[in-house]
Amino acid sequence: MNRACYRKLHRYKYQLMQDYEIETGLGGYSIETDYIALPPSGRMTIRQAYAWDGPSGPTIDTLTLMRGSLVHDALYQLLRLEALPSKEKAFADKLLRTICLEDGMNHLFARIVYLGVKWFGGSSSRPGTERPDMIICVPVDN
């Protein structure tokens, strides 16, 4: 009998339906993962099927926060994987604010979002906090 194997996602709510590219302004790196590419030009590609958890903390998943959370989560993942140095956390946090403003977020709320990740996002960007997804196959071999 053929087995079906699937991946149990720990903390993700959303999955990207097509590749997304953005000029980050974060140049000088050459990073390639299964779902994220950040070449020296700084034009980051987040690939189709990338999964992320959306906005975190005491907030709701508004349209003005979704694109920013996608890019921010991808950059934080690169920080956790130590593909980016920890000093770039500040850049990722500021880019989140910029994208939220571009997408029509109120300036006060964008400031609150920025301060939230600046003050409380450290544990989410720290290396070693990336939990691997569990692979489950059914039926189970006896």
Provide the pLDDT for residue 129: 65
Domain for residue 85, yes or no?
Answer: yes
Tell me the DSSP string of 19-64. -EEEE-S--S--EE-SSEEE-TT-EEEE-TT-EE--S-SS----HH
What is the rounded distance in angstroms from the CA atom of residue 42 to the CA atom of residue 67? 17
Position 37, amino acid: A
Domain for residue 40, yes or no?
Answer: no
- In this predicted structure, the answer to whether residue 12 has a pLDDT above a threshold of 60 is yes
Domain for residue 123, yes or no?
Answer: yes
Provide the pLDDT for residue 134: 74
Domain for residue 132, yes or no?
Answer: yes
Domain for residue 117, yes or no?
Answer: yes
For residue 27, CA distances in Å to 3, 44, 65 come to 44, 10, 24
- Total structural domains within the chain: 1
Q: Which domain holds residue 104?
A: 4-15+51-138
Domain for residue 99, yes or no?
Answer: yes
Q: For the full predicted model, state whether its pTM sits above 0.85.
A: no
- In this predicted structure, the answer to whether residue 26 has a pLDDT above a threshold of 90 is yes
28: left (phi over 0), alpha (psi -120 to 50) or beta: left
